[in-house]
Amino acid sequence: MKMQNRLGGLAALTLVAGLALTACGGDDSSSADGGSGGGDGTTVTFIPKNLGNAYFDTSNAGGKKAVEEFGGSYEEVGPAEGSPDGQVTYINTATQQGRDALVISANDPDALCDAIGEARDADIKVVTYDADTNPDCRDLFINQADAAGIAKVQVEMIAEQIGDAGEIAFLSAAANATNQNEWIGLMEDEIAASHPDIKVVDTVYGDDDDQKSFDATAALLNKHPDLKGIISPTTVGIAAAARYLSTSDAKGKVALTGLGTPNQMRDFVNDGTVTEFALWNPGDLGYLAAYAAEALVKGDIEGEGDSFTAGDLGEFTVGADNTVLLGDPFRFNADNIADFDF
């Protein structure tokens, strides 16, 4: 259990509880001097895919906690809808303001690159986290877990839940999301290679919008009466799909798994709609991203092979493609979900 190994069981829960207290959505700024008068003043702007997503509320609360620890100044800005255009506006504003570092979950691998390039020309460090741009665009990517591992755990869960046979579909986020597209591609490969009796019949997009994802689930079930399972590799999608299934005839007949947060999925695990899903600790991801941004700004790291310390999470080394890896995905089910609060 990497999530608990890194922090220790009780420490993990304490950190999560602390993050919950500082969780915020929407514009939010704060600064701190680290409580000891030794603040380093690094200014960090977090730009999630969209605001109002519990996943980013948790990850960015982790970022805020880190920035407060090193005595910098934190803000979160971002679009209401998960679109690249909306993100470009916020990147441009942060560049004009001369922030020290931007931490971005990208809605598109290419569309942000011009704006990010202008930021970097102005000596602003740019870290992507959660969803990367093309590696050339940014300084570092903070990867929540190895993409192959994220794909594998979801395929294993659906195979276990449908007896390794039958029709399945993907309910994804935005059609251009780099993270979901990479995971889905790898899941398709894995199914083709190792699960000959599972057939992928559709991929639909809910744009990380609750209502769109809910409606897309209804449409999927209508279109594919023999559907055995849905994989939704997005916390917004899986929660909306679970809500739909929980009151439909398909409850208990169509399996649903993917990536979700324990707080959003708890009721659906407890009422039997969902057996098991996975995720990493989003709070740790934001926390690590903020410390990585600070290390870049301070010149402690530049790229591959360099190491830095990310507060309570300890030491990390920058790997190939200037990527820093947080850890492994973790499975949540009825036996353990009560132990988590995020």
CA gap 140, 153 in Å, rounded:
25
Beta carbon of residue 49, minimum distance to ligand RAM (angstroms, whole number): 5
Instruction: Identify which of residues 230 and 301 has a Cβ nearer to ligand RAM in the complex.
Output: 230
Instruction: Identify which of residues 239 and 297 has a Cβ nearer to ligand RAM in the complex.
Output: 239
Site size with ligand RAM, rule: CB under 6 A: 13
Residue 141 binding ligand RAM, by CB under 6 A: no
Kindly provide the b/e burial profile for residues 92-119, where b requires at least 16 CB atoms within 10 angstroms of the residue's own CB.
eebbeeebbbbbbbbbbbebbbebbbeb
Beta carbon of residue 233, minimum distance to ligand RAM (angstroms, whole number): 6
Residue 131 binding ligand RAM, by CB under 6 A: yes
Beta carbon of residue 59, minimum distance to ligand RAM (angstroms, whole number): 9
Beta carbon of residue 234, minimum distance to ligand RAM (angstroms, whole number): 4
Residue 53 binding ligand RAM, by CB under 6 A: yes
Q: Is 220 exposed, middle or buried (0-12, 13-18, 19+ CB in 10 A)?
A: buried
Instruction: Identify which of residues 131 and 241 has a Cβ nearer to ligand RAM in the complex.
Output: 131
Residue pair 127/138 in contact by the 8 Å Cβ criterion: yes
What does each C-alpha distance from 227 to 98, 137, 196, 230 come to in angstroms? Answer: 51, 40, 16, 8
| Residues 6 or more apart whose Cβ sits within 8 Å of residue 156 | none
Q: DSSP letters of 175-194?
A: TT-HHHHHHHHHHHHHHHHH
CA gap 17, 20 in Å, rounded:
5
Beta carbon of residue 325, minimum distance to ligand RAM (angstroms, whole number): 15
> What single letter denotes the amino acid at residue 141?
F
6, 49, 64, 138: residue in contact with ligand RAM (rule CB under 6 A): 49
Helices (H), the chain: 2-7, 9-22, 54-70, 84-97, 113-121, 147-161, 178-194, 210-223, 235-246, 262-270, 282-297
130, 190, 207, 328: residue in contact with ligand RAM (rule CB under 6 A): 130
- The strand pair at 315-317 and 307-309 is best described as antiparallel
Four-CA torsion 153, 340, 229, 132, nearest 10 degrees: -60
Stretch that binds ligand RAM, among 47-55, 92-100, 306-314, 321-329 (CB under 6 A): 47-55
Instruction: Identify which of residues 39 and 260 has a Cβ nearer to ligand RAM in the complex.
Output: 260
105, 213, 264, 281: residue in contact with ligand RAM (rule CB under 6 A): 105
Beta carbon of residue 177, minimum distance to ligand RAM (angstroms, whole number): 6
Residue 313 binding ligand RAM, by CB under 6 A: no
How many residues comprise the chain? 342
171, 173, 241, 292: residue in contact with ligand RAM (rule CB under 6 A): 173
* Nearest-CB residue for ligand RAM: 55
The mark string for 207-246 relative to ligand RAM (x by CB under 6 A, - otherwise) is -x-------------------------xxx----------
Instruction: Identify which of residues 72 and 327 has a Cβ nearer to ligand RAM in the complex.
Output: 327
Residue 128 binding ligand RAM, by CB under 6 A: no
179, 217, 264, 322: residue in contact with ligand RAM (rule CB under 6 A): 179
Residues that bind ligand RAM (CB under 6 A): 49, 53, 55, 105, 130-131, 173, 179, 208, 234-236, 259
